Each structure stands twice: as C-alpha cells, then as structure tokens.
Amino acid sequence: MAPVRTSVERVSVVVPFYNEADIVEQFYQRLKDAMQATAASYELIFVDDGSIDGSFPVMQRLKAHDSMLRLVKLRWNFGQTAALAAGCEAAEGDVIITMDGDLQYDPADIPRFLAKIEEGWDLVSGYRTERTGDSFWTRRLPSWIANRIMARLSGIPLRDFGATLKAYRRDVIKNVPLYGEFHRFIPTLASHFKISMAELPVRQGPRLCGKSKYGFGRTTTVFFDLIRIVFLVKYLTQPLKIFGGLGLIFCAGGGAIFSYLAYERYAHGLFILQNQGALFMVSIFLMLAGLQFLSLGLLAELMVRFFYQERRHRPYVVEQHID
C-alpha cells in the first residue's frame, strides 16, 4: 500500500554530544539555519552524554538565548544509544529527527527528510554516498560487510544501517526499546510494527575536531549485535519457538539412537555398555541437552511475560533537564 501524504506540525531534533565543545556552537548555528528554512515548528534537544570538556556549559550559554533549545544532561557517559533514548524520551514533536553533533552530517539535509516524511513514510533513513576521511580497510569495508549481512538477516533492504541521520514518526521511535548499541538497528526493530521505510542519500564529511569513537575493533561488537537483533526481531515474543525447536531436535536425535541401541540389545543380545558405550552416552547427552533447551524456552517465555507486564528500566540516568 502506498504511503498517504501527511503534514508535519512539529519537529524534534535530537542530537547527542560527547566531548564536542569546540563545535557545539557551530553545529547549533547550522542546525538553526536548516530548521528556520522549514515551515514546521520545532524544538532542538541537545543531550550531553557525560562530556568532560565543557560541552554542557556551551549548551547552557546557547540555551540562555533560545527558548526552542532544550537540554538533557546525563550523569556520565552511557553511550550514543542511551543518549538518543534520553533525547527521544524528552521529545514532544510528531516527527523526531536524530543525528550526530560532530558535523559529519549536514543539518541542511533535514528539510529533505521532512519532505519525505510528508509523503507518508513512517521512517526515513540516510545512507552515506560519501565518507570523507574514513579509512577503507578499518571503516568503510567492515561497514559495507555489516550492512549487507544485516539486510540479509533482517529482511530490511536498507543500504546503510549505521547512519545516525534518520527521521521517524513519533509513534515509531517511541515504541522501540533502545539500549546497548542498538541505535543503528532501529529500522530493524521498528519493522516489527509493519512500518513503511524510505532512504535518502547523505554525505558524511570529515570530523572537524576530536577523533572517532569507532574503529575496526567494533566489528566484533556489531557481529554480536546482529545476532541479538535477529533473535529479538524474530523470537522476542515467542522464544519457545527457537529453544523448543532445538530441544525437540536434540531429544529426537537422542531418542532415535537410544531406540536403535534398545533394538540391538533385545533383538541381537548386544551388551550396550560393553559394545556401544560411547554411542549410548551420546544418546543420553542429546536427550538431556534437549530437555535443557525446552526448559530454557519455558523460562524465556516467563521472562517475556514479565517484560511486558513490568515497567521497562531506562538505560541512562538523567542529571538535569533544562526546558
């Protein structure tokens, strides 16, 4: 079904900062220029993720002259996903835009994302056509591999899961639990709600100050995140489906071997422990492992029930709100 064109009334732009004091003001000015070029009302939410270089005092000075700027200060460095979660929790717009505050993404691209949202799409994701300053071997190649694997495993045909510049309708992002390093996988998590997605090309420029928090060592982390995401998307609400299936396979294998040994014992008088002791132990091991998987599946089902019944804990601690 084609998206239905809608209007955007209020926009929230959520930007996490960590030790970017040298460019906060420059980023703010460029973001203001971009938002003033749109027809929608807006708010800017700057999240200080435990910076220790004076980033927050710079934000406070900007806030003193701009009522549309809201500040969220986290008690310490929780990471980009938690900072985005804190900003999205505070956001009041019907469309929420997320982006990095290091000026690698151009705020001037925001009107294009809003126009795409107004076409009726629920989520608009940026994909990087240029990555100035990124090493091919340590950044671009691992990113390309991870994106291809994620698209294949998740069934979401996005070209770039890692670009932070994205636009969401409020009901999409508000229903996605964010923790760990899951910000790059929001489209995959949101796909559970059968939303419509579109992509727009963006240019990633060079860092103007500081250094990247990411490197080749993050490839392993992303690999484990891929496994977790696939599990969460496919089996979060029905873990017994995967654990129970494995349990039945193991039990069936062990039972088949045990049945064969029992037949040999009573049909041909074979003394199992003396002649087929190793195979007998394998059958017992498989059946016990199958029972373990079945038990794990039942426990996981109980945990899912508690997850939906109890209030979810936030993966961050807010020290201060300035509205």
What superfamily in CATH does domain 10-236 come from? Spore Coat Polysaccharide Biosynthesis Protein SpsA; Chain A (3.90.550.10)
- For 221, how many CA atoms within 13 A lie in the half-sphere containing its CB? 10
> In this structure, what token pair is assigned to residue 275?
């002649």
Whether residue 110 has pLDDT greater than 90: yes
Spell out the domain ranges in the chain: 10-236, 239-308
Q: Report the distance separating Cα 300 and Cα 294, nearest Å.
A: 10
The amino acid present at 167, given as its one-letter code, is A
Tens digit of each residue's pLDDT (9 = 90 or more) over 146-191: 788 878 877 788 888 888 899 999 988 888 877 766 777 788 878 7
Please work out, in degrees rounded to the nearest 5, the angle formed at the alpha carbon of residue 311 by the alpha carbons of 309 and 315. 135
313 close to 85: Cβ distance less than 8 angstroms: no
Q: How confident is the model at residue 2 (pLDDT cuts 50, 70, 90)?
A: low
Q: How confident is the model at residue 271 (pLDDT cuts 50, 70, 90)?
A: confident
Q: Where are the beta strands (DSSP E) in the chain?
A: 10-17, 41-48, 69-74, 95-98, 123-131, 166-169, 197-204, 318-322
Report the range of poorest mean pLDDT among 233-242, 260-269, 296-305.
233-242
Prediction pTM value: 0.76
Q: Report the distance separating Cα 249 and Cα 244, nearest Å.
A: 9
Residues 6+ apart with CB under 8 A from 295: none
Tens digit of each residue's pLDDT (9 = 90 or more) over 16-53: 999 999 999 999 999 999 999 888 899 999 999 999 98
Report in angstroms the alpha-carbon separations of 272 from 7, 134, 252, 253.
Answer: 75, 63, 20, 18
